[in-house]
Amino acid sequence: MNSLVTGPFAPAVSATGSGPIVDPFGRSITYLRVSVTDRCDFRCTYCMSENMTFLPRQDLLTLEELDRLCSAFVARGVRRLRLTGGEPLVRKNILWLVRALSRHLETGALDELTLTTNGSQLSRYARELAECGVRRINVSIDTLDPEKFKTITRWGDLAKVLEGIDAAREAGIAVKLNAVALKGQNEDELTGLLRFAHARGMDLTLIETMPMGEIGEDRTDRYLPLNTVRERLEREFTLTDLTYRTGGPARYVHVEETGGRLGFITPLTHNFCESCNRVRLTCTGTLYLCLGQNDAADLREVLRAPGSDDETLSAAIDAAVALKPKGHDFMIGRNAPRTKIARHMSVTGG
């Protein structure tokens, strides 16, 4: 990890930046994903081990520090902020951060403030999220079978998640469902998930499992290429490619029979690096420049250094983004090398 030089201190980031953030390959950085905690109330088998050791709470950035860093990126042209985890809604007083960041929606500096959640806490927070300007969220749900849901998540309760989805929709928040395609586990349910989502006016995005972190099993046993999934779906549905984008890596199709949209996130069979506009900030202030590489910079050191000011923080962001690689090189399979990405998905939030 790279350490960046620090300078004079100011309590907040100014409303003006020094131009857009551009990486070494000419890609503008307009999307920041922020993992507000590495903790989660589920233990999904493809994401983490059942007996996880999480970061000591004292290592985490305060909510005020997260606000300052996010605001620094907004000042430099980031238009979308996504709060992730772990599970973001288990972070204590998380609504304070959502309310604080919503001021950038009110000024027009930010186009969207959203989050990815497992849905377990949504029934509790949905209305307040809507009041803070959250208009769209992603909910991760891999099966509609209660017993299988318990098996995949280890600790999850499907009924509670479905209740949360209903609460979000009732609050006026558009919900998109995310499902990781898992060979031998939910591959026979993907048609049902699609119909379930589209019948309720929700998009569905399918995701290939990613080789990140040790999880206690061989991911090759669960890896299901989405080109195979699409071929199977096309036996039953008419899929038409769309130019529609949400700012993330999903490529969408229109499903004629349901009238809904279906997304595919394919980090292995067809990577999305050429159009990458994203960087990822962890709850400890580490900025990862690529989900599938280890390039990173320590912004917490800059943030907390005596005399750090807005200009120095902005310069640190530029220095960090200069490390952004052209793309990732995820590999999976019996003969693939052991993953070089030791961190779990919950560290960077996907």
The response to whether 176 counts as a known ligand-binding position is yes
Q: Which phi and psi angles does 195 have, rounded to 5°?
A: -65, -40
Please give the single-letter amino acid code of residue 141. Answer: I
Q: Are 7 and 311 in contact (CB under 8 A)?
A: yes
Closest CA to 30 of 316, 246, 348, 284: 246
Cis peptide before 119 (omega within 30 of 0): no
Is 116 flagged in the annotation as binding?
Answer: yes
Report whether 148 belongs to an annotated binding site: no
Q: Residue 276 annotated as binding?
A: yes
Between the CA of residue 40 and those of 53, 147, 156, 177, 218, what are the distances in Å?
A: 11, 20, 10, 18, 22
Q: Tell me the C-alpha distance between 219 and 268, whole Å.
A: 13
The sign of the torsion formed by the CA atoms of 228, 279, 104, 95 equals positive
Q: Report the C-alpha gap between 5 and 257 in whole angstroms.
A: 56
Task: Say whether 46 counts as a known binding-site residue.
Answer: yes
Burial code (b: 16+ CB inside 10 Å, e: under 16) for 85-108 equals bbbbbbbeebeebbebbbbbbeee
Q: What is the C-alpha separation between 194 and 106, in angstroms, rounded?
A: 34
273 assigned to a ligand binding site: yes
300 labelled binding-site residue: no
140 assigned to a ligand binding site = yes
Report how far Cα 307 is from the mean position of its chain's Cα atoms: 32
Binding annotation for [4Fe-4S] cluster:
40, 44, 47, 273, 276, 290
**Binding-site annotation: residue ranges:** 33, 40, 44, 46-47, 82, 86, 116, 140, 176, 210, 273, 276, 278-280, 290
Give binding residues for S-adenosyl-L-methionine as ranges.
Answer: 46, 86, 140, 210
- Please give the annotated binding residues for GTP, written as ranges: 33, 82, 116, 176, 278-280
